[in-house]
């Protein structure tokens, strides 16, 4: 899945842009979905810190790929 395809999905699903980021960098208090090295990484950013959670990543993937 490309970043453009993912953007299309989140727009279609009416997910609030303030709740997520598809861009590099640390967007505070957002769910970040970043494509690096041919893989998608999912983490929550709060106060400049990344919180990685495999269950969160799996839940996002399940929701987006349904």
pLDDT band at 45 (very low <50, low <70, confident <90, very high): confident
Q: What pLDDT, on the 0 to 100 scale, is given for residue 65?
A: 61
- Who has greater pLDDT, 65 or 32? 32
Name which of 56, 2, 51 is nearest 28 in CA terms: 51
CA distances for 6 relative to 12, 36, 47, angstroms: 10, 14, 25
26 pLDDT more than 70: no
- What is the mean predicted confidence (pLDDT) over 29-49? 84
Cβ–Cβ under 8 Å, residues 31 and 60: yes
Q: What pLDDT, on the 0 to 100 scale, is given for residue 8?
A: 92
Name which of 33, 41, 38 is nearest 17 in CA terms: 33
């Amino acid at each position: 899945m490309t970043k453009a395809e993912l953007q299309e999905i989140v727009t279609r699903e009416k997910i609030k842009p303030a709740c997520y980021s598809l861009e590099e960098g640390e967007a505070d208090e957002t769910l970040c979905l970043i494509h690096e090295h041919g893989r998608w990484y999912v983490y929550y950013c709060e106060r400049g810190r990344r919180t990685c959670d495999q269950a969160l990543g799996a839940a996002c993937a399940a929701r987006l790929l349904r």
